[in-house]
Amino acid sequence: MSKTVEKAALDNWYCIGCAADMPLGESRTKLLGSGLVITKATDDAVAVSLTDGTPVTSKIRYGYVWATLGEPERDVVPIPEADETDRRYVACGAVTVKSSGLRIVENFLDLAHFPFVHTDILGSEPHTEVAHYDCEIRRDVDEVWATNCKFLQPKAAMSAEGAIETDYIYRVANPFVTLLYKTCPNADDRWDVICLFVQPMEEDLCKAHPLMLLLDDVTPLSDLIAFQLDIFLQDRIILENQRPLLLPLEPRAEIPTRADASSIAYRRWLKEKGLVYGTTLTAA
């Protein structure tokens, strides 16, 4: 394990893969610069170790393998919707991105790029304005939340028929885990949930593991997965061309706008935690 990885990065739970995709025997991957060996034992239990054989604390949640190289004070992020039996569980594979995992989370929070990157899907011109929304660091749960987010979307979901004004709630549950609650075209009083579990393999290389928990029992599974991956691959082009690849935490390194309230709160939260892995700051 690299001695430069700070405690604030080590003391988190990280998704390292979908349990259903782990081959029998050994599977190898990386986390925070360290090589991991994953041995699948049963459908609900795994053994994870460093490449030198040192055991790594791990567990399965939501069908994914989670591991930590430190001592987290809390369990894996709670997602109550994952226990609702009428939801479609849609694991969307893993996408490797040559960028900081923190950049991926910040991009996930960004409403302003919808019309320009996801044209005629999540946004369109001339409807480019990001209306005022609320953002806060919730100290009682140590999470970042953005609420009252609204955006006119031509194709908000596979089940949507025509453009709708979509309500969003963003929740950053730990620095590398974020969730989106959005208008469900099939239920007025409930939300579709999209989870993004980011695995930082190196400071500038990561895997993104998207999971959708949907109220949609009609759309073919392959279409749901393709829709989500098409959106994410559009984002990957932008992420891999951002400079710097790491997330700047120094004030004024990048100039924010009114639409960047969630990004401002997220970066402030990271600095408060002392998390620098994947940023342009360096550990002391």
Count of residues making up the chain: 284
**Quick one: pLDDT band at residue 2, thresholds 50, 70, 90?**
very low
Decide which of 56 and 261 is more confident.
56
E strands within 175-226?
177-184, 187-202, 205-214
Mean pLDDT of 173-190: 89
- Residue 222: CB atoms within 10 Å: 8
Residue-level pLDDT at 266: 94
Measured distance CA(217)–CA(225) in Å, rounded = 14
Nearest to 32 by CA among 182, 214, 176: 176
Measured distance CA(271)–CA(248) in Å, rounded = 11
Reading the block at residue 12, the tokens are 């988190």
Least confident of 108-117, 152-161, 245-254: 152-161
Residue-level pLDDT at 172: 96
Mean pLDDT of 235-254: 78
For the CA atoms of 85, 87, 93, 95, the dihedral, rounded to the nearest 10 degrees, stands at: -130
Whole-model pTM above 0.85?
Answer: yes
Arithmetic mean of pLDDT over the chain: 84
Measured distance CA(139)–CA(142) in Å, rounded = 5
Residue-level pLDDT at 24: 73
Residue-level pLDDT at 180: 93
pLDDT surpasses 80 at 129: no
Measured distance CA(86)–CA(89) in Å, rounded = 9
What CATH number has the domain spanning 78-273? 3.90.380.10
pLDDT > 70: percent of the chain = 81
Mean pLDDT of 212-222: 90
**Residue 103 near residue 247, CB atoms below 8 Å:** yes
Mean pLDDT of 176-201: 91
Strand 25-31 vs strand 177-184: parallel, antiparallel, or unpaired?
unpaired
Common-topology check for domains 1-76 and 78-273: no
222: left (phi over 0), alpha (psi -120 to 50) or beta: alpha
Mind listing the pLDDT tens digit for each residue in 60-104?
Answer: 999 999 999 999 999 999 999 999 999 999 999 999 999 999 999
Mind listing the pLDDT tens digit for each residue in 149-168?
Answer: 886 655 544 445 555 578 88
Reading the block at residue 54, the tokens are 């040192």
Residue-level pLDDT at 196: 95
**Residue 111 near residue 223, CB atoms below 8 Å:** no
Mind listing the pLDDT tens digit for each residue in 34-69?
Answer: 999 998 766 678 899 999 999 999 999 999 999 999
167: left (phi over 0), alpha (psi -120 to 50) or beta: beta
Is 1-76 a CATH 2.20.25.680 domain? yes
pLDDT surpasses 50 at 1: no
How many Cα atoms occupy the beta-carbon half-sphere of 273 within 13 Å? 25
Residue-level pLDDT at 10: 97
Cis ω on the peptide bond leading into residue 126 (within 30° of 0)? yes
Measured distance CA(210)–CA(232) in Å, rounded = 9
Residue-level pLDDT at 284: 40
Reading the block at residue 60, the tokens are 């399965």
Mean pLDDT of 110-123: 55
Q: Domain limits of the chain?
A: 1-76, 78-273
pLDDT surpasses 50 at 205: yes
**Quick one: pLDDT band at residue 218, thresholds 50, 70, 90?**
confident
E strands within 54-118?
55-61, 64-68, 88-91, 95-97
- Residue 65: CB atoms within 10 Å: 26
Mean pLDDT of 109-119: 58
